[in-house]
């Protein structure tokens, strides 16, 4: 087993707590499913949100999915002029037998434009 990092992002339609929880849950679920990861494979998860998101912590979605014994942290993205608005990003560290090249990074909806080189 190796420690690998997997990335993902989603752009929210609006800054509302329930909408954020739904979208972040969908993103986390997609990351786990596309890579064949179980919750027990997670080591830690870092969430970032653009400065225009204030309604909730993205990590709340993980807790509601039952991810309760994994360290989670939320941070704010840099406020860069022209950056895509209302984006939540994830950087998860996992234990896996997958090679780096076998990791599926997940960018949902409009967020796929952020990393066309690795978006699945």
CA 75 to chain centre: 12
Which residue reads 């909408």 in tokens? 19
Q: Which residues are catalytic?
A: 7, 63, 74, 77, 89, 107, 115
C-alpha closest to that of 62 among 73, 51, 52, 50: 73
The SS3 assignment for 45 reads strand
The SS3 assignment for 73 reads strand
């Amino acid at each position: 087993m190796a420690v690998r990092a997997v990335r993902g992002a989603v752009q929210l339609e609006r800054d509302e707590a329930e909408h954020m929880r739904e979208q972040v849950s969908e993103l986390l679920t997609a990351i786990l499913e596309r890579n064949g990861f179980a919750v027990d494979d997670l080591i830690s998860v870092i969430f970032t949100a653009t400065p225009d998101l204030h309604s909730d912590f993205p990590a709340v979605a993980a807790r509601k999915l039952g991810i309760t014994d994994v360290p989670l942290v939320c941070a704010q993205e840099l406020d860069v002029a022209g950056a895509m608005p209302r984006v939540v990003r994830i950087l998860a560290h996992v234990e896996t037998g997958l090679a780096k090249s076998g990791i599926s990074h997940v960018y949902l909806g409009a967020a796929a434009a952020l990393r066309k080189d690795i978006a699945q």
